[in-house]
Amino acid sequence: MRSTGRERPTPSRTRGTVTGDPMGSATRNQRVGKTTTGIIRHLDELGRIVIPIEIRKRFGLTERDPLEISVRDQTILLSRPRSTCVFCGASRGVEEHRGRGVCRTCIVELTASYR
């Protein structure tokens, strides 16, 4: 039977950790600014999940928008890619080149080194 993605989560899964501490992690999550939505989605056969429309609208995400996937401790984080230069880390004047950010200064330096 295929999942519709609309299953109602059990209270022990929406708040707390895998060990079943229903209040401890919720308090910790509130301190670090995390929000528990109560929405549980399952991975499909290819490891994909669908981000609910409410969350996509809230963050202005549309089809084909890039998302950066990172891990912090036991948490998987999705965020918009940061616009920083892959060479020097600058955040001003960054342009995209082949899917990566490169600042104007580094573009000039790289161009000069190939002449």
- What pLDDT is stored for residue 34 in this prediction? 66
Please indicate, yes or no, if residue 97 is contained in any of the structural domains. Answer: no
Please indicate, yes or no, if residue 85 is contained in any of the structural domains. Answer: no
Parent domain of 54 = 11-60
Taking only the tens of pLDDT, the chain with its 115 residues reads 455 555 444 443 333 333 334 444 444 444 456 677 788 999 999 999 999 999 999 989 999 888 889 899 999 999 887 788 889 989 888 988 877 889 999 999 998 988 7
Please indicate, yes or no, if residue 25 is contained in any of the structural domains. Answer: yes
Please indicate, yes or no, if residue 16 is contained in any of the structural domains. Answer: yes
- What pLDDT is stored for residue 9 in this prediction? 46
Please indicate, yes or no, if residue 95 is contained in any of the structural domains. Answer: no
In the chain, the number of structural domains is: 1
Assign 3-class secondary structure to the chain. CCCCCCCCCCHHHHCCCCCCCCCHHHHHHHHCCCCCCCCCCCCCCCCCCCCCHHHHHHCCCCCCCCCEEEEECCEEEEECCCCCCCCCCCCCCEEEECCEEEEHHHHHHHHHHCC
Choose among 72, 92, 76, 74: nearest CA to 84: 92
**Does the predicted TM-score (pTM) go above 0.85?**
no
